[in-house]
Amino acid sequence: MSFVRLPVERRGLELRPLFREPRVAVLPADHRLAGKESIVIADLAPERLLQDPDAVPEWRDLPERSGGVGAGPPPSFATVEEKLEHVATSGGVLVLPLSTAAYYTHTDVAHVPIDDIGPGEVCLAWSAGRRSPLLPEFADIAAAQY
pLDDT digits (tens, 9 = 90+) for 6-34: 888 999 999 999 999 999 999 999 999 99
Q: What does the pLDDT read at residue 70?
A: 46
Q: Is residue 88 over pLDDT 80? A: yes
How far is C-alpha 107 from the chain's CA centre? 20
Q: What does the pLDDT read at residue 136?
A: 84
User: Who wins on pLDDT, 55 or 70?
Assistant: 55
39-43 CB contacts, 8 Å cutoff, 24+ apart: 39/112, 39/113, 39/114, 39/115, 40/114, 40/115, 40/116, 41/114, 41/116, 41/117, 42/116
Domains and CATH numbers, the chain: 1-21+119-146 (no CATH), 23-118 (3.40.190.10)
